[in-house]
Amino acid sequence: MTKSEKVAFVISTLQNLYPEIPIPLDHKDPYTLLIAVLLSAQSTDVRVNQITPLLFAKADNPYDMVTLSIEEIRDIIKPVGLSPMKSKGIWGLSKMLIEEHNGEVPKDLEALEKFPAVGHKTASVVVSQAFGIPAFPVDTHIHRLMYRWGLSNGKNVVQTEKDAKRLFPKALWNDLHLQIIWYGREYSPARGWNIDKDIITRTIGRKSILKNK
């Protein structure tokens, strides 16, 4: 199979499996999505979705968020982990939104990356899922699968993102990054991986990986 044939197989398989693609993190607007994505770092979407209703009941916009203290935010979000850094980030970015963006989340990737506790992946998720701007945020699932499928060398997420953007049509980026995440969770996890259920890796995966299985 050529690389272009592999890409076509991935796209068609994922479109068949996930014709409608749910967004993993519960939110109602760009601001609540930004906060939810920030909270999801080194945590699970399930845990974040349990905590955000508690936080958003007190503050679901930057103006209300800055009326809370960092300590109050930290107490609420503690179960998701990394609460000292995340609480400072949430309060700090809310203040910046008010002072520099009239309380509105910007659509610009570089502007988002200037906020505290907001990295490239978080910013990419927001522009993709909140504004429909083509982006390809790479999480652990995408990084793992792109390597298993022989579509990236697996050195780092930066290279994986470049490879994904080079190989997949730009018009499909926003759908594909979510479809690959769901596929990784359901069919190609890091632990408890069953190659018999993983049709994509079984069909196009690296020979070294298939031999080890």
pLDDT at 45: 94
Low-confidence ranges of the chain (pLDDT < 50): none
| Residue 139 annotated as catalytic | yes
Residues with Cβ < 8 Å from 69, sequence gap 6 or more? 91
120, 168: one domain: no
Number of domains in the chain: 2
Alpha carbon distance 156, 140 (integer Å)? 10
Query: 58 and 127 share a domain?
Result: yes
Domain end call among 76, 101, 131: 131
Domain residues for 89? Answer: 30-131
Active site residue 121: yes
Q: For residue 81, what is the DSSP state?
A: S
The predicted structure's pLDDT at residue 19: 96
Which entry of 86, 121, 163, 198 is annotated as an active-site residue?
121
Predicted local confidence at residue 212, as pLDDT: 67
Instruction: Give the C-alpha separation, 165 to 172, whole Å.
Output: 10
Question: Which of 113, 131, 149 is the C-terminal boundary of a domain?
Answer: 131
Do residues 52 and 12 share a domain?
Answer: no
Q: Give the CATH number, domain containing residue 12.
A: 1.10.1670.10
Q: What is the pLDDT of residue 208?
A: 77
> What separation in angstroms does the CA of 198 have from each of 69, 184, 201?
47, 9, 6
Out of 45, 139, 162, 165, the active site residue is 139
Using CA atoms, how far apart are residues 40 and 147, in angstroms rounded to an integer?
23
* Pairwise CA distance, residues 25 & 210, whole Å: 33
